Amino acid sequence: MMHSQTVAQTVSKILAEKRDNERVKSAFSAIISEHGQFRCHCIIRDVSKKGMRLEIPETFEKIEEFDLRTPAMPETLPVRCVWRRHNLMGVEFVFSDLPADEEVSGSA
């Protein structure tokens, strides 16, 4: 897994706006894995500074934390599920080694 500062910088680059609640629509394909093991394919439907909305198979069993990989970015993104409705899941980025106020932007 990569250093969280680099993940934060990469996520910041793909966002079109800097506002906290701004969501950027997308249709990136991605892979969900847990402990290095493939779990399922998904589609990233939108991205914000703090997380993403994923389209997942309805049969996918909910897991709290997992890694997300997409060809759109070279890094693996550690994420945490914050909500789930049918085939949609909201996740937040997990940056365990950064202070909360520096999670994505890298600045206070």
Range of the domain at 35: 4-9+22-99
Report the helix count and the strand count for the chain, using DSSP H and E: 1, 6
Question: Within a domain: residue 91?
Answer: yes
Question: Within a domain: residue 107?
Answer: no
- The pLDDT tens digits of the residues spanning 1-40 come to 444 456 555 665 555 444 456 888 888 999 999 999 999 9
pLDDT on residue 45:
95
Question: Within a domain: residue 82?
Answer: yes
Question: Within a domain: residue 108?
Answer: no
CATH number of the domain that 90 lies in? 2.40.10.220
pLDDT on residue 90:
96
Question: Within a domain: residue 15?
Answer: no
Question: Within a domain: residue 27?
Answer: yes
- Neighbour-count burial of 61, counting CB atoms closer than 10 A to its CB (0-12 exposed, 13-18 middle, 19+ buried): exposed
Domain count, the chain: 1
- The pLDDT tens digits of the residues spanning 42-75 come to 999 999 989 999 999 999 998 999 999 999 888 8
